[in-house]
Structure 1
Amino acid sequence: MAFLSLMMSFATLNIYLSLLAFVPHQVHATSHGSFVTKYVTNDNSSVGGLCASSIIVHGYKCQEHNVTTDDGYILGLQRIPEGRAEVNGTLTLKQPVLLQHGVLVDGNSWFVNNPEQNLPFILADNGYDVWISNTRGTIFSRQHVSLDPSNRQFWNWTWDELIAHDLPAMFDYVSKETKQKINYIGHSQGTLIALASFSQEKLIKQVKSAVLLSPVAYLSHMTTELGVVAARYFLDEVIHLIGLAEFDLRAPRVKAIIRSLCDSNPGIHCYDLLTVITGPNCCLNSTTVDTFFKNEPQSTSTKNLVHFAQTFRNGVLTKFDYVVPSANFRHYGQLLPPEYNLANIPHDIPLFLSYGGKDALSDVIDVQRLLDILKFHDADKLSVQYIQEYAHLDFIMATNAKDIVYKDVLSFFSHHA
């Protein structure tokens, strides 16, 4: 095992040295890689708060909350307590809904269309108490009780920590505020951390039901061109070696690495990187995309992307693999990382899964593998929706999602009220 680890280290080092040879010192615009400079322009103009930038401006009441995890991260959490047309002083006890975004975005990703088309506003207007979560490292969650984002240790986490710390902190906070069980909505990474949590019987006493949009559990069949190339050639490990603890698509070194990867792989059409990564989203308009890129992408940890790449390469859902057996043993008390066994998800949790036929990340084959694991779920507690023309971002950004997806989400919540 030691010899294998040594050989892997040499191989990764060679890739690293090769990469440095063609990563430019400056990023020059080319038609092949124009997406990187055209769209990665987030200037964090919304640091005043998500409520001010995306919610109150549309006539909704909004509250800014902070939640501190047990490992010290201070997370932004926004609350939309009532609908826009609601009469003040309504005494009806409302069911809380917590929305959790995916990787490389934040809570703003739910607010890219007109108010009548955005899921949080639709929920609020239908009588729900809406809460918007923001994962550690994103613009509204870049605080810690002792660490600064400039400190590498601030970025020493993967979605394991989101399962262990962020999601429980959010659930605890919303449960205490509302005194009720929580309806959960996750997209992409937000579905992964929920499924893994449920498999460990975490949050079970607090969750009322869960909606999983573009569910991610397995990634072996993802077709995203850039992601597949990066994962197969261990680019995630290379970036980790270069010393980038924070993965920020706006950072010059990250843009240079992506451009170099695009230039060395002509088959990757980086002029439309959004489609390359997520699949051919059917139903986004130019205004939606422009609004999206005013706030996104957001940072994540490089270690988090390494973890995702491990899931693709290994074909199993495990905790982060430190590769060297002794390192795994120090962290887990065993030579290999523990597996998240999704078969352990309680069969009586109401689940609604919606997935798309064009999704390059949540591929149909991988979703079918998840559904096969859930085949013993209580029949009246599992709802599945398949939308042939949808890709990864359509579920949160499509202009027609209100009529295709969200109406079924409302029906699901109502059925399990």
Structure 2
Amino acid sequence: MGWIWCVWVFVCSGFYALALHPEVYLNMEQRVKRHGYPLEIHPVTTEDGYILNMYRIPHGLKKSENEPTNKSAILLVHSSGGSPANFVTLGKKYSAAYYFADRGFDVWLFCSRGTECQNPRKHIKWDWNNDPEYWNWSFHEVGLYDLPASIDHILNVTQQKKIFHVGYSSGGPQLYALISEKPEYNEKIKLNVNYAAAVLLKEVDYPFLQVLCQLSNLFKNLYGAMGVTELTPPVFYSVLSDLVRKMCADPKWFRLCKVALSSFGSNLSTLMEDDIVELATSVFPRLSVKQATHYMDNVNRGDFRKYDYGKQTNLAVYGRAVPPRYNLTATTVPNAFFYGATDSLSVPEDNQELIGILSNVIYEEELGPSFVHLDFIFAKNASHMLYKPTVKLFKDFDAGRIPPKIVKRSKQ
């Protein structure tokens, strides 16, 4: 691998004088404290041995002396390949985590397996950089193990009976996988709010992704033959992540970084500002092969099913050749949906079909006329368009004002 480091030294020599954003190399704790907010770090160990962190922002920037001690807890769940840092990237004024904390909520940030958080150990047995067994999971395991461990920890710490759950992108399928397998978790959530839920993926309007998904079996066979379970092996990950940080701070490459970030999908974001780009690209995603190919298979089928191991293994694992569908009808918790009018991944049609399947949807809003997938966490007007109505929903719910189904469409 010596040639990699030679190339790396050569490339980085052109970046030595760059002035990086002061938060690019800060971890989650350092970022939040730099913004002036309180932060607690809570270790959580899952049933299958993964060691996670949860981040808690117990109150807003200004704590009132009369602040109640039994504030409603919110769990913010990041996407696959995302990070809890996504919810503080917009800074003090606009970030989702701070917006909710400043309005009287006890905010908890989820950090799934495979995500860089504070804990030095990632598993009771395996090292995530050296043991391929660590990466043998998909969103199914995140939903089945990481999510309930996190929910139960919040309930134990706060002594509350239920929490609010906000799932961004793959936060949706993770929760529905959990409830399909463990429907008792319906009773632990007051209200589930979906931000751009990537559950049904029938109408994905992203030709590059659609073509890539056709190669799912090739990825499974190729990585399987090499015995590799992480999509970007650690030696390449460390090089790529640092290279991306430096490139996106360089004026010569900045525009390319912004276009690449803004065009995550077929439609270009017009709502992300320049000062977000460095921070949004500073956390390079780590993904398991199983995680990626599970989504690819569901895009190919246009369905929400368990992982496809191939016919013979499916017969052994599931007792059938084709993976079973998740039982969406097991969901009885109240649901709210926010989706973007121009989101080409979690498209309005797929959200509306999912809404038709679920039995207890109380709120549906299409954000637009221009709102794409990454705008949910990186658009500065998300605080007004998205977080503000979410807070109203939560406060109405806590006050016993559960609305009849509200449907709001964007005006084109």
Cα deviation 1:268-290 (Å, max 9, x = unaligned): x9994334433422310111121
Shift of 1:337: 1.8
Task: Give yes or no for contact 2:257–2:277 (8 Å, CA) kept in 1.
Answer: no
Residues 274-285 of structure 1 mapped to structure 2, 5 A cutoff: 274-278=261-265, 279-285=267-273
Relative distance call for 1:68 and 1:78 in structure 2 (3 A) is: same
Shift of 1:137: 0.7
Alignment correspondent of 1:320: 307
Relative distance call for 1:73 and 1:89 in structure 2 (3 A) is: farther
Q: Secondary structure at the match of 2:199?
A: coil
Alignment correspondent of 2:194: 212
Q: 1:291 is matched by which residue type in structure 2?
A: L
Relative distance call for 1:254 and 1:113 in structure 2 (3 A) is: closer
Alignment correspondent of 2:348: 364
TM norm structure 2: 0.80
Percent same amino acid at aligned positions? 28
Question: What CA distance in whole angstroms lies between the structure 2 residues aligned with 1:273 and 1:243?
Answer: 31
Relative distance call for 1:320 and 1:244 in structure 2 (3 A) is: same
Relative distance call for 1:392 and 1:67 in structure 2 (3 A) is: same
Alignment correspondent of 1:160: 140
Question: What CA distance in whole angstroms lies between the structure 1 residues aligned with 2:258 and 2:388?
Answer: 34
TM norm structure 1: 0.79
Shift of 1:119: 0.8
Q: Secondary structure at the match of 1:352?
A: strand
Give the root-mean-square deviation of aligned CA atoms.
Answer: 2.9
Question: What CA distance in whole angstroms lies between the structure 2 residues aligned with 1:54 and 1:250?
Answer: 24
Q: Secondary structure at the match of 1:337?
A: coil
Relative distance call for 1:89 and 1:145 in structure 2 (3 A) is: farther
Task: Give yes or no for contact 1:281–1:358 (8 Å, CA) kept in 2.
Answer: no
Question: What CA distance in whole angstroms lies between the structure 2 residues aligned with 1:382 and 1:117?
Answer: 26
Q: 1:336 aligns with which of 308, 315, 322?
A: 322
Residues 16-55 of structure 1 mapped to structure 2, 5 A cutoff: 45-47=25-27, 50-51=28-29, 53-55=30-32
User: Is 2:273 the partner of 1:291?
Assistant: no
Q: Secondary structure at the match of 1:300?
A: coil
- Which region of structure 1 is more displaced relative to structure 2, 161-170 or 241-250? 241-250
Alignment correspondent of 1:33: none
In structure 1, the gaps of 5 or more residues are 1-24, 30-42, 257-268
Shift of 1:247: 2.2
Question: What CA distance in whole angstroms lies between the structure 2 residues aligned with 1:165 and 1:98?
Answer: 15
Question: What CA distance in whole angstroms lies between the structure 2 residues aligned with 1:62 and 1:255?
Answer: 30
Q: Figure out how many residues of one structure are paired with residues of the other and give that number.
A: 360
Cα deviation 1:187-227 (Å, max 9, x = unaligned): 00111111232344141121111111001111122123432
Shift of 1:339: 1.2
Relative distance call for 1:26 and 1:312 in structure 2 (3 A) is: farther
Q: Secondary structure at the match of 1:144?
A: coil
Residues 7-406 of structure 1 mapped to structure 2, 5 A cutoff: 45-47=25-27, 50-51=28-29, 53-87=30-64, 90-140=67-117, 143-149=122-128, 150-180=130-160, 181-200=162-181, 201-234=183-216, 236-237=219-220, 240-241=223-224, 242-248=226-232, 252=236, 272-278=259-265, 279-294=267-282, 296-325=283-312, 327-346=313-332, 349-374=333-358, 377-378=359-360, 382-388=362-368, 389-406=370-387
Relative distance call for 1:367 and 1:251 in structure 2 (3 A) is: farther
Question: What CA distance in whole angstroms lies between the structure 1 residues aligned with 2:233 and 2:347?
Answer: 24
Shift of 1:89: 7.3
User: Is 2:391 the partner of 1:407?
Assistant: no
In structure 2, the gaps of 5 or more residues are 1-5, 11-22, 241-255, 399-412
Shift of 1:390: 0.5
Task: Give yes or no for contact 2:201–2:302 (8 Å, CA) kept in 1.
Answer: yes
Relative distance call for 1:243 and 1:222 in structure 2 (3 A) is: farther
**Which structure is higher in RCO with an 8 Å CA cutoff and minimum separation 6?**
1
Question: What CA distance in whole angstroms lies between the structure 2 residues aligned with 1:197 and 1:151?
Answer: 26
Q: Secondary structure at the match of 1:171?
A: helix
Q: 1:208 is matched by which residue type in structure 2?
A: K
Task: Give yes or no for contact 1:280–1:358 (8 Å, CA) kept in 2.
Answer: no
